[in-house]
Chains A and B, each alone.
Chain A
Amino acid sequence: MSNELHDLLGKGWKKQPFIKRTWLRWTIYAGFVAYLIAAFSTIEVNWSRVYEGLDRGAAFVMAFTRPDFVSRAGDIWTGMAESIVMTVAASVVGIAISIPIGLGAARNIAPLPVYLICRGIVAISRALQEIIVAILLVAIFGFGPLAGFLTLSFATIGFLSKLLAEDIESMDRVQAEAIRASGARWMQWINYGVQPQVMPRLIGLSMYRLDINFRESAILGLVGAGGIGATLNTAFDRYEYDTAAAILILIIVIVMALEYLSGIIRARVQ
């Protein structure tokens, strides 16, 4: 029946494949399957160990229902305060440094040598991971929040300068030219021609980066760079899951609050 219909109508409709070239599609599929087989064959999973651990996993999940904020309240409080202090200070310094670098990394307002230097700084800062930078800075500056503060500032520069530069590059030239035509000096030109165009996005990105910095500050303590991470690590090491759950809940709540706040601020400036 359907064959007769096919003869009458020609070919039936078929769903379009996502990758159009047949050979490419099959090569990708085959390569992917081969990779999966290779990957799975090299992963060693100690299933009996996993099975033993399931009890502890359940204990941890249960700990979320009765988090213990009290017995280590002092440690949690100092750690949290240090994390927040690091986040705020590093965000302020990072944003302050990334504005000139962002200006320099925008091709339409910076001369080529400045552009190359600033892009180089951005590339270095983006390629190095926070935790690796933190390890090196702890080795150099010693334990404590200063290393964490420097790490977060350094990471902020790469993130914010790049996005700011991209925003400046895609700005409307006409407005900036109008300011320049009125005989403005360079600083005035930036201040009245460029800044109003990128300000809403800069504020939005800064809030987003504040949020990221707080999340990152939670792990810097693992390598001795200050913040709540050290307390959390100790809690895990001592199998105090209820304290760990309390810390994680605090982190989640603060991140949620920051996201909510940045949502409000972004809605207001845009």
Chain B
Amino acid sequence: MPVLEKDDTQIWRRRTRGQALTHWAGWLIGTAIFVYCWQQISGATTWFFVWDAPRIAGDIWTRATPPRWEYIAQLGRPIWDTLNIATLGTLMALVMAVPVAFLAARNTTPSRLFIRPIALLIIVSTRSINSLIWALLLIAIIGPGVFAGVIAIAIRSIGFCAKLLYEAIEEIDHTQVEAITATGASRWQVMAYGIVPQILPAFAGISVFRWDINIRESTVLGLVGAGGIGLQLQSSLNVLAWPQVSLILLVILAFVVVSEWVSAKVRGAII
């Protein structure tokens, strides 16, 4: 127990002297890094704009209120597009994520040495690139529109779904699989009756969870031209139509809240 000797009495301490020193050194280095980063940011900032910010914020607020309510009539179609981007994107992602997950799970992969690393690479690379970047790329390739948005969401979601799914596959109860194998079932039958029923609840949960995230992401895909309500947001911003911007933001908020509620309900029903 670390103690401090003082006037012949022992006082309890949380750390020994060495521990305390390393602790402080860690804090010192951390603070130094933070200060350096802050200096970099501060150096790249025009501080005049920052001091002026409250006035600008107030100005934008007065321009943006009240929202232009009659504009909502034009938002029906973009919302429908956004919903489609999220839903179809999630479906496509799931179709592609399932095989990737089976190839990546240690207990189902055909080859640990060759195929598993490839599957893991697919998972990492699709997951670490944001859907907006995928959209940017796909617009350059297949042109702007809802379709590019669907594909962007689909690619981005593969990694996420496959990662969670392969972790679920690795955690399955092996005795059930063995029981099915003992009946003389083929490889595919073992898959269908031994593994799939065990991961189905996880699969359903993951799909709904990702769908909820995708709704959020698809609302902003339009900023780069990939369809949905983001297109309206971008065009309103471009012409500085702040009352429209505030209405669109309110609609997006409502949409996201509703999707979160739906996903919570469905997940509650599954679990």
- Interface stretch, picked from A67-75, A99-107, A219-227, is A219-227
The chain A residue sitting closest to B60, CB to CB, is A139
On chain A, the number of residues with a Cβ less than 8 Å from chain B's Cβ atoms is: 59
**A141: contacting residue among B53, B133, B136, B137, CB under 8 A:** B53
Q: Contact at A140–B53, with CB atoms within 8 Å?
A: yes
B88 close to chain A: CB less than 8 A: yes
Inter-chain contacts of B200 with A (CB < 8 A): 18
Q: Contact at A233–B88, with CB atoms within 8 Å?
A: no
Interface 0/1 of B166-204, CB less than 8 Å to A: 000000000000000000000000000100010010001
Interface 0/1 of B21-44, CB less than 8 Å to A: 000000000100110011011101
A1 close to chain B: CB less than 8 A: no
- A243-266 with Cβ < 8 A to chain B: 244, 248, 251-252, 255-256, 259
Q: Contact at B129–A248, with CB atoms within 8 Å?
A: yes
Q: Contact at B41–A39, with CB atoms within 8 Å?
A: no
A29 close to chain B: CB less than 8 A: no
The chain A residue sitting closest to B253, CB to CB, is A127
B10 close to chain A: CB less than 8 A: no
Inter-chain contacts of B210 with A (CB < 8 A): none
Inter-chain contacts of A233 with B (CB < 8 A): 136
A92 close to chain B: CB less than 8 A: yes
The chain B residue sitting closest to A50, CB to CB, is B142
Q: How far is the CB of B245 from chain A (nearest CB, A)?
A: 9
A236 close to chain B: CB less than 8 A: yes
Inter-chain contacts of B60 with A (CB < 8 A): 136, 139-140
Among A35, A43, A50, A251: residue with most chain B CB under 10 A: A43
Inter-chain contacts of A239 with B (CB < 8 A): 140
Roughly how many angstroms separate A82 CA and B46 CA in the complex, as a whole number?
Answer: 16
A160 close to chain B: CB less than 8 A: no
Q: How far is the CB of A20 from chain B (nearest CB, A)?
A: 11
Q: Contact at A226–B150, with CB atoms within 8 Å?
A: no
- Interface stretch, picked from B65-73, B95-103, B107-115, B219-227, is B219-227
On chain B, the number of residues with a Cβ less than 8 Å from chain A's Cβ atoms is: 58
Q: Contact at A86–B140, with CB atoms within 8 Å?
A: no
Q: Contact at B219–A92, with CB atoms within 8 Å?
A: no
Q: Mind listing 29 A-B residue pairs with CB under 8 Å?
A: A39-B83, A43-B147, A50-B147, A56-B141, A60-B141, A85-B40, A86-B41, A88-B34, A88-B37, A127-B256, A129-B217, A129-B219, A129-B252, A131-B223, A132-B252, A135-B237, A141-B45, A141-B49, A142-B50, A146-B44, A146-B50, A215-B128, A218-B133, A219-B133, A222-B223, A244-B137, A248-B133, A252-B124, A252-B128
User: 6 smallest A-B Cβ distances: which pairs?
Assistant: A142-B49, A255-B128, A89-B37, A146-B45, A57-B141, A53-B141
Q: Chain A interface (Cβ within 8 Å of chain B)?
A: 15-16, 18, 35, 39-40, 42-46, 49-50, 53-54, 56-57, 60, 81-82, 85-86, 88-89, 92, 127-129, 131-132, 135-136, 139-142, 144-146, 149, 215-216, 218-219, 222-223, 226, 229, 232-233, 236, 239, 244, 248, 251-252, 255-256, 259
Q: Chain B interface (Cβ within 8 Å of chain A)?
A: 30, 33-34, 37-38, 40-42, 44-46, 49-50, 53, 56-57, 60, 80-81, 83-84, 87-88, 124-125, 127-130, 132-133, 136-137, 140-143, 145-147, 150, 193, 197, 200, 204, 216-217, 219-220, 223-224, 233, 237, 249, 252-253, 256-257
